[in-house]
């Protein structure tokens, strides 16, 4: 399998090597939201319910769940992108081998 070790901005290897990773800052934000929404604080639920904060917390929890789902989908997408890149590389190598075999066959038939 012949692979080009050089990566240029136009090659697919270059773009896949710079896959986005979730930042640690987002992880911190998620933990902070979870800790904030725990019911360990006495009297906090009553004051939030009186001021309408319950709806806000509910929306934050829904947002958190959607965020976590999105992170899973992004990671799965990155895995599929890597697999696709490997398949493209394998396809190119097989095509190159096929061309070499065809070239050697045409040389042997021309010599006969």
Looking at the domain assignment, is residue 5 inside a domain?
no
Looking at the domain assignment, is residue 104 inside a domain?
yes
DSSP assignments along the chain, one per residue? --------TTSHHHHHHT-----HHHHHHHHHHHHHT-TTSTTHHHHHHHHTHHHHHHHHHHHHHHHHHHHHHHHHHHHHHHHHHHHHHHHHHHHHHHHHHHHHHHHHHHH-
Its domain, for residue 86, covers 54-111
pLDDT in tens, the chain (112 residues): 444 444 444 545 444 444 555 555 556 566 666 666 555 555 555 555 555 678 999 999 999 999 999 999 999 999 999 999 999 999 999 999 999 999 888 888 877 6
Q: How many structural domains does the chain have?
A: 1
pLDDT of residue 6: 43
pLDDT of residue 34: 64
Looking at the domain assignment, is residue 83 inside a domain?
yes
């Amino acid at each position: 399998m012949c692979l080009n070790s050089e990566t240029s901005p136009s090659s697919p290897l270059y773009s896949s090597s710079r896959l986005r990773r979730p930042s640690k800052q987002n992880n911190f934000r998620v933990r902070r939201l979870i800790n904030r929404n725990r019911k360990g604080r006495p009297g906090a639920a009553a004051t939030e319910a009186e001021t309408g904060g319950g709806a806000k917390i509910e929306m934050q929890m829904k947002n958190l769940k959607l965020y976590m789902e999105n992170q899973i989908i992004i990671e799965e997408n990155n895995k599929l992108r890597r697999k696709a890149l490997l398949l493209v590389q394998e396809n190119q190598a097989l095509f190159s081998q096929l061309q070499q075999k065809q070239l050697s066959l045409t040389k042997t038939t021309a010599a006969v």
